[in-house]
Amino acid sequence: MNGLAGYFLRRALGALAVVLVLSLVVYATFYIAPGDPARLACGPRCNPEQLRQVREQLSLGDPFYLQYWHFLQGLVAGHDYSTGTGVLHCTAPCFGQSYQSNQLVTDLLAERLPVTASLALGAMVLWLLLGIGTGLLSALRRGGATERVLTWLTLAGTATPVFITGLGLLMLFCVYLEWLPFPTYVPLADDPEQWAWNLALPWAALALLESAKYARLTRSSMLETLAEDHIRTFRAYGLTERAVVGRHALRGALPPVIALTAVDLGSMFGNAVLTETLFGLPGLGQLLVHATQTIDIPVVVAVVMVTGTAVVLANIVADVLYAVADRRVALR
């Protein structure tokens, strides 16, 4: 077990390094980028005196390395902000204050992350069900009516931009049929049922977009596994086709699907902007786009670090699942 603990320690340190490098690159990029955060934060009717105050308050006059150093300090030790009348304490890990709203970035993240996580994880479950199901059907019962409909559906979903699919779904289910509410985000903890009903359409839109490649991957991987010698062995020993596929072939066919899921799930955290915007969900994607436009550096850096962490974590989980599926793979 020492080996396994060591493995997770090494992976965690690696993840930390990746995320820190990411933050430095983003910080530097936005420092060099044209535009004045202070002017954007101060607003259009801002006199030079106010502008100077804002700039001082945001420490924008400090050299780059000092700003980044303060950011790191905040991450490790926390930070206190004066609000004029009192002191706002930001506990570690502190990502700073938004230039725009003076809200703590950690609060913004706490508000937005559950939305994106709900969206991404729920969509993943749906696209895996749809993709793997379609792939299995087309590997095992090629030419059936269900298989043809599902294959057509997934391909159409992939070929159509997500805001078109989403709009179509909204029109159909919310306007014409009135089966579903117009999506608003209801926290899972408040009302699980409403949470799911409200997210059903965004999930479906993303799942349709993603599932075709899972169907194709599952199909080819399954056909490859079914052609292997050990499948012939179990057929020759009287196992039913269901047992051959379920207990022997599926396990061999899944590792590539696991690997792809990890990559997709990670990128879903930063890339679900279109879906979030269309369905009016206050997620990380929306936050990132807005922060980028207003050069709200603390927010941008924080969101990038969170999505980066999601990518790295998803990959660690995928590697562990890989090793569980195939014991010949050693974790090191």
Restricted to residues 189-248, the positions that interact with another protein (CB under 8 A) are: 228-230, 232-240, 243, 247-248
**What residues contact residue 275 under an 8 Å CB cut-off, 6+ apart?**
119, 162, 163, 166, 202, 205, 206, 281, 285
- Of the pair 52, 251, the CB lying nearest another protein is at 251
- Of the pair 89, 141, the CB lying nearest another protein is at 141
**Do residues 269 and 120 touch, judged by C-beta distance below 8 A?**
yes
- Of the pair 86, 238, the CB lying nearest another protein is at 238
Binding-site string for another protein from residue 249 to residue 278, where x marks contact by CB under 8 A and - marks none: --xx--------------------------
- Of the pair 13, 324, the CB lying nearest another protein is at 324
The tokens 């690696």 sit on which residue?
14
Q: How far is the CB of 214 from another protein (least distance, A)?
A: 21
Cα 241 from chain centroid (whole Å): 37
Q: How far is the CB of 239 from another protein (least distance, A)?
A: 6
- Of the pair 173, 234, the CB lying nearest another protein is at 234
Q: Which residues of 134-156 are buried (b: 16+ CB within 10 A; e: fewer)?
A: bbbbbbbeeeeeebeebbebbbe
- Residue from 143, 327, 330, 332 binding another protein (CB under 8 A): 327
Count of residues engaged in binding another protein, rule: CB under 8 A: 21
User: Could you tell me the CA-to-CA distances from 61 to 56, 105, 126, 235, 251 in Å, in that order?
Assistant: 7, 21, 49, 74, 58
Q: How far is the CB of 131 from another protein (least distance, A)?
A: 22
Length of the chain: 332
What's the sign of the alpha-carbon dihedral 70, 72, 77, 79?
A: positive
- Of the pair 313, 323, the CB lying nearest another protein is at 323
**Do residues 111 and 120 touch, judged by C-beta distance below 8 A?**
no
Q: How far is the CB of 7 from another protein (least distance, A)?
A: 17
Q: How far is the CB of 281 from another protein (least distance, A)?
A: 40
Q: How far is the CB of 197 from another protein (least distance, A)?
A: 39
**Do residues 269 and 307 touch, judged by C-beta distance below 8 A?**
yes
Q: Which of 283, 281, 273, 284 has the alpha carbon at shortest distance from 307?
A: 284
Restricted to residues 30-69, the positions that interact with another protein (CB under 8 A) are: none
Q: What is the contact surface with another protein in residues (CB under 8 A)?
A: 228-230, 232-240, 243, 247-248, 251-252, 325-328
